[in-house]
Amino acid sequence: MALTDSALPLHAPAPLAPGPTTMPSRRPDSILDPGFNLTLRPMKYPQFFEMYRGAIKNTWTVDEIDFSDDLVDLDRKLMPAEKHLINRLVAFFATGDSIVANNLVVNLYTHINAPEARMYLSRQLYEEALHVQFYLTLLDNYIPDIAEREQAFAAIENIPSIRKKAEFCFRWMGSVSEIDRLDTDEKRRAFLRNLICFATCIEGLFFFAAFAYVYFLRSKGLLNGLAAGTNWVFRDESAHMNFAFEIVNTVRNEQPELFDERMASELTAMLDEAVQCELQFAQDVLGEGVHGMSLNDTREYLQFVADQRLVQLGLEKQYGSKNPFSFMELQDVQELTNFFERTVAAYQVGVAGDVAFDEEF
């Protein structure tokens, strides 16, 4: 007869028989699960620790950005259509990185269990908070009218083109919010779709499109403070995207069965939907006629970026478009080089010591 709670023995249980010296193998309940080893020794994924070290070297603060020239440009140099572009852009910035930060905490950190990868995610969360502060400072400087600023903070509610992008983010990234454990292949695929949406569509397309508007204005000699801050954000976001792709590639090597034809079809459709969302935003941003930046060129650029993301995922290009924005090619090469040259003394923080990845405690 089974014992009731009141009939349980009061004496201490007999000691367990000696077991194996290592924990038994088990099917992982998260991505990149090291099993019961939650320490950095031995290090299973040293590439993520190196990414963390690299991120530490790229340290900057919002307080060092000078917006004084921007205020003159906003008051005296920008045309009405360009002012409309900027208002829409900072309204998107006001919500975009907050969505990313929430996904980092709620979904990515929960299900990526490798301690060295979590170190990078912790650093990334700090950087996303820094971006939010940067965009808040933009709003305070660029939109002094309190009522207009409140409208910008409520962009998800009152600007349809931004609401569409937010709904896209919530639908794809929120699809795993109810999942506690990644204990089936279907749940792992859902998580990977979340991560890939984050890397390719949000960081890799929505923000890269936003950067294009900033660097277009800079190419005209406008808003240098915005461009200076965006240089640092650009560097951060590129690193975040590369980290996510490294996670995807590592999982692909460990569990190739997750990347089947259905997954490829879903990811291609996801990116196409993201292009359509961003194109609607472009129609809004450029709707008043910004001289030198056409909707057709912007569409070509979005398709070009989407093709690059598909290639990074090991998938076929869908558009065959070329980059029509020469100022973005300059950004990819010269500006980042100049950024590193300019900030080595002021921002790079040294990381001392070597790490042996096969060392035991």
Q: Of 231, 239, 189, nearest to 48 (Cα)? A: 239
Q: Under a CB-based contact definition with an 8 Å cutoff, are residues 225 and 70 in contact? A: yes
Q: Rounded to the nearest 10 degrees, how much is the dihedral formed by the CA atoms of 211, 217, 223, 226?
A: 0
Q: Which residues are catalytic, by number? A: 135
What SS3 string covers the chain?
CCCCHHHCCCCCCCCCCCCCCCCCCCCCCCECCCCCCCCCCCCCCHHHHHHHHHHHHCCCCHHHCCCHHHHHHHHHHCCHHHHHHHHHHHHHHHHHHHHHHHHHHHHHHHHECCHHHHHHHHHHHHHHHHHHHHHHHHHHHHCCCHHHHHHHHCHHHHCHHHHHHHHHHHHHHHHHCCCCCCCCHHHHHHHHHHHHHHHHHHHHHHHHHHHHHHHHHHHCCCCHHHHHHHHHHHHHHHHHHHHHHHHHHHHHHHCHHHCCHHHHHHHHHHHHHHHHHHHHHHHHHCCCCCCCCCHHHHHHHHHHHHHHHHHHCCCCCCCCCCCCCHHHHHHHHHHHHHHHHHHHHHHCCCCCCCCCCCCCC
